[in-house]
Amino acid sequence: MSAPVTIYHNPRCSKSRQTLDLLRANGVEPTVVEYLKTPPTAQELKDILTALGWRPAELLRAREAAEAAIGRDLDDEALIAAMVANPAVIERPIVVKGDTARVGRPPESVLEIL
- Give catalytic residue positions: 13
Q: Answer whether the bond into residue 40 is a cis peptide, omega within 30°.
A: no
**Which of 60, 88, 91 is closest to 76 using CA atoms?**
60
Cα 17 from Cα 44, distance rounded (Å): 22
